[in-house]
Amino acid sequence: MASGKKPLVVVTRRLPDSVEMRMRELFDARLNADDAPMSQADLAAAVKTADVLVPTVTDRIDRSVLSQSGERLKLIANFGNGVDNIDVPTALQRGITVTNTPGVLTEDTADMTMALILAVPRRLTEGAQVLTGDKDWHGWSPTWTLGHRIWGKRLGIVGMGRIGQAVARRAQAFGVKIHYHDRRRLAPQIEEELHATFWESLDQMLARMDIISVNCPHTPATFHLLSARRLKLIRSDAYVVNTARGEVIDENALARLIEAEEIAGAGLDVFEHEPAVNPKLIKLARLGKVILLPHLASATLEGRIDMGEKVIVNIRTFLDGHRPPDRVLPSML
């Protein structure tokens, strides 16, 4: 980049106005006013000339895109926490730094996880649809639309990072017993604070829980972590909630098991082949067995602004010649 010239920052999707305004002030920001997702060819063209690329979960920054990156591209500042949309090892090999936006979407994602944990067993969407559907409501009945109690149930959290812990804090307030599985055990004082029981064996935990919440990132090690074999271990009266990444669950197997009434239901905010949604899941949603949300867990205006600010801090720190605060390191993958 020639000195005195503002760096060319290509942002792949429309961001909140205040974030875009700040980006225009600071950078030669190429924004996406109509918010149409960029094709692989558009992304390849962008990385040829940009100094910084700001992608989102909808952009696949794969080896083929990265192989076309120009000399100038030194930073990919992801607008998002998960970086499974980026071939990080290839980027790092090419000397490109990758950053993300951890921390600022924890509470929003945990809120939505808790909403699904409540909504699925208590049949919230089914109930809400009664009053706006084709049929008339004839009033209260003691045995109609009965769900299941949340209080006293066992919640198994798969992935006890920031979001998993924030879910545990909320669930505790609902009288839920916290269990978790993670690559690493929490520090004893955090386990104590959350009254959380650690399971080294994911298989054993899955077989004993009433509700399972997936809160781990999607990495090569967690792809289909909830495989068909493991899903079969889950009790037939248990529910599965996923606000992390669709790829962590074998979605076809989950749909099959819910259809066969071998798992009671699911609340899913993410899908294996997003934005495509498995038709079997849509059918199950129509039957009231699953609740499907369109990747909404972190969708708050406040969260998006915080994410944008993090992206800007990462870019500025990097361009000033320092280590950006949210570097993605190989050990995180």
Segment holding 97, helix H or strand E: strand 97-99
Q: If DSSP codes are grouped into helix, strand and coil, which group holds residue 10? A: strand
How many Å apart are CA 77 and CA 12, to the nearest integer?
Answer: 11
Query: What residue number has its CB nearest to ligand 8YV?
Result: 80
State both tokens at 71.
């000399």
| Stretch of residues binding ligand 8YV (CB under 6 A), selected from 35-43, 73-81, 111-119, 223-231 | 73-81
DSSP code of 98?
Answer: E
Annotated active-site residue 295? The verdict is yes
Q: Specify whether 274 is catalytic.
A: yes
Q: Is 297 in the site for ligand 8YV (CB under 6 A)?
A: yes
Least Å from the CB of residue 86 to ligand 8YV: 11
Does 155 interact with ligand 8YV (rule: CB under 6 A)?
A: no
Binding region for ligand 8YV (CB under 6 A) out of 75-83, 137-145, 279-287, 316-324: 75-83
Number of residues that bind ligand 8YV (CB under 6 A): 9
Min dist CB 307 to ligand 8YV, Å, is: 7
Answer yes or no whether residue 156 interacts with ligand 8YV by CB under 6 A: no
Among 245, 247, 251, 304, the active-site one is 245
HEC letters along 180-224: EECCCCCCHHHHHHHCEEECCCHHHHHCCCCEEEECCCCCCCCCC
**Which is it for the CA torsion 151, 256, 292, 131, positive or negative?**
negative
79 scored as a contact of ligand 8YV (CB under 6 A): yes
In the residue annotation, 245 being an active-site residue is answered as: yes
Q: Which of 316, 314, 308, 306 is nearest to 7 (CA)?
A: 316
> In angstroms, rounded to a whole number, what is the distance separating the alpha carbons of residues 266 and 250?
13
Residue 255 to residue 270: CA distance in whole angstroms: 14
Q: Which stretch binds ligand 8YV (CB under 6 A): 78-86, 155-163, 231-239, 257-265?
A: 78-86
Q: What is the DSSP letter of 322?
A: S
Annotated catalytic residue, options 122, 295, 316, 327:
295
* Chosen residue from 12, 32, 56, 215 binding ligand 8YV by CB under 6 A: 56
**Applying CB under 6 A, does 167 fall inside the site for ligand 8YV?**
no
Residues near 25 by Cβ (< 8 Å), separated by ≥ 6? none
Give CA–CA dist 106/178, Å, rounded: 18
Q: Which of 298, 312, 324, 328 touches ligand 8YV by CB under 6 A?
A: 298
Q: Among 7, 82, 161, 265, indicate the residue that binds ligand 8YV (CB under 6 A).
A: 82
Contact pick of 22, 61, 66, 80 for ligand 8YV (by CB under 6 A): 80
Catalytically active residues, by annotation: 245, 274, 295
- Which residues of this protein are in contact with ligand 8YV, per CB under 6 A? 56-57, 79-82, 105, 297-298
